[in-house]
Amino acid sequence: MNNYTHLNAQTIDRWIDDGWIWGQPITPPDCDKVRQGDWNVLLTPTRPVPKDWFLPFKNTKILGLASGGGQQMPVFSLLGANCTVMDLSDKQLESERMVSTREGYDIDIVKADMTQPFPFADASFDLIFHPVSNCYIEDVYHLWRECHRVLKPGGVLLAGMDNGINYLFDDDDAGKPLTITNTLPYNPLKNPELMKKLDLEDDGIQFSHTFDEQIGGQLKAGFVITGAYEDYNGHPTDGLATVAASIPTFWATRAVKPQ
């Protein structure tokens, strides 16, 4: 299915209309807090990115890769960075445009597919911010190579990734037994039954990726990893079932393109 990424973009647009948490743009009061130095951003669902993972923001060129929605790019823009956001969801890009107009800063907004060559010259950016989203593409090796290409020497890639555990289980409710219902790798393009299930549940077309693909792929592309942490789908206090609150299901990494 050659156009699965465009189907995913349409799915995300529907989720946003239904109130998807990752499609809710930052509010004016929170923008005011950013201006006062009170801010945090997420690569993964719950754990804020360490602030010492960033470069000084003033005039730093940042690419928000599949990072639309008006959540992170406004923060970086208000802190003085020169930001570009690249996403394939019209709704996510609309939010970026709305917040930039509302808050009075400039941002370059690019609609593009991250499975294709990025529409940027070599060594264009100082930092790439890539929250969990490569679960919607099949080939992450291409992604890491393109990130390496468009970063300047010494540039930083901050990436959030699903580690695959989420795909072992169907959506689980608190109080129900936890049962492994799928096998890895999770790839609906190679499994018609998975494709039917995802279509029925309006979950888009998603993929699991291995440690070799996610971490090994960054190293293979030429990055040096300088920081990492795990995260969960939620907190135990959220009343979520075991897999959501008790099993780390996400990784975040800080990787540097050597000088």
What is the model's pTM?
A: 0.95
**Cβ atoms 93, 85 nearer than 8 A:** yes
pLDDT band of residue 242 (cuts 50, 70, 90) is low
Q: How would residue 218 be classed by pLDDT, with cut points 50, 70 and 90?
A: very high
- Which tens digits make up the pLDDT trace of 76-131? 999 999 999 999 999 999 999 999 999 999 999 999 999 999 999 999 999 999 99
- Among 50, 21, 38, CA closest to 252: 50
Total structural domains within the chain: 1
Average pLDDT of span 24-40: 98
DSSP secondary structure string for all residues of 210-235:
-HIIIIIHHHHHT-EEEEEEEE-SS-
Q: State mean pLDDT over 10-33.
A: 97
Which CATH number characterizes residue 219's domain? 3.40.50.150
Cβ atoms of 195 and 205 within 8 Å: the answer is: yes
Domain limits for position 219? 4-256
Of 250, 255, 237, 256, nearest to 44 (Cα)? 250
